[in-house]
Structure 1
């Protein structure tokens, strides 16, 4: 078993954490934009009904 250097391990963990944070923020922004799109499509459909 080769000994893992702490610097390499910390870099790996940092990359992993940043990927998780990035995915969470992307999901959050996608959720917000999809809600906006949903509300706008509802408005458009209401206009079309009139």
Structure 2
């Protein structure tokens, strides 16, 4: 039954694309940045000094 071969490839491609998207989204959203307000407040008060 070679007529069913394109359907099989299409479902496999769809399956692997969905797995890749799921892994990428999990990696993107699971990363945690520690948020400290004191660091960001100190950075806001610093004014650059140009020496030229």
TM bin, normalised by shorter chain, reads 0.5 to 0.7
Structure 1 moving runs of 4+ over 3 Å: none
* Residue aligning to 1:5: 2
Q: Higher helix fraction: Structure 1 or Structure 2?
A: 1
* CA distance, structure 2, for counterparts of residue 5 and residue 25 of structure 1: 30
Q: 1:16-43: per-residue Cα shift (whole Å, max 9, x none)? A: 01000000000000000011xx11xx22
Larger Cα-atom Rg? 2
Q: TM-score, with normalisation over the residues of structure 1? A: 0.62
Figure out how many residues of one structure are paired with residues of the other and give that number. 37
* CA distance, structure 2, for counterparts of residue 27 and residue 18 of structure 1: 14
Q: TM-score, with normalisation over the residues of structure 2? A: 0.60
